[in-house]
Structure 1
Amino acid sequence: TSGSRDTDKEKYKDFTFDHSYWSYDADDHNYASQEE
């Protein structure tokens, strides 16, 4: 069914956004910096 496919797509989008958020907030301790 197309319904379940849309659900999986939304889950993936939410995960990607959540992962990117931590790398975006430079003031957070979880910030993924390229610097040593």
Structure 2
Amino acid sequence: MEGLNFTNKAQKIIVNAQNIAREMGQQHIDALHLL
């Protein structure tokens, strides 16, 4: 994922959501992971 257009805070949120999805055995991010 290109992160050049995101702020540092948004990038951290996206990475955290990716980690949550991965821990749950999912391959994509849903809105629920971002909340």
Return 5+ residue gaps in structure 1 as ranges: 22-36
TM, length-normalised to structure 2: 0.53
Q: Tell me which stretches of 4 or more aligned residues in structure 1 moved more than 2 Å.
A: none
Structure with the bigger RCO (C-alpha within 8 Å, sep 6+) is 2
Structure 2 gap segments, 5+ residues each: 1-5, 27-35
Q: How many residues of Structure 1 are paired with residues of Structure 2 in the alignment?
A: 21
Identical counterparts, % of pairs: 0
Q: RMSD in angstroms over aligned alpha carbons?
A: 2.2
Letter in 1 for 2:17: Y
Q: Which has the higher helix share?
A: 1
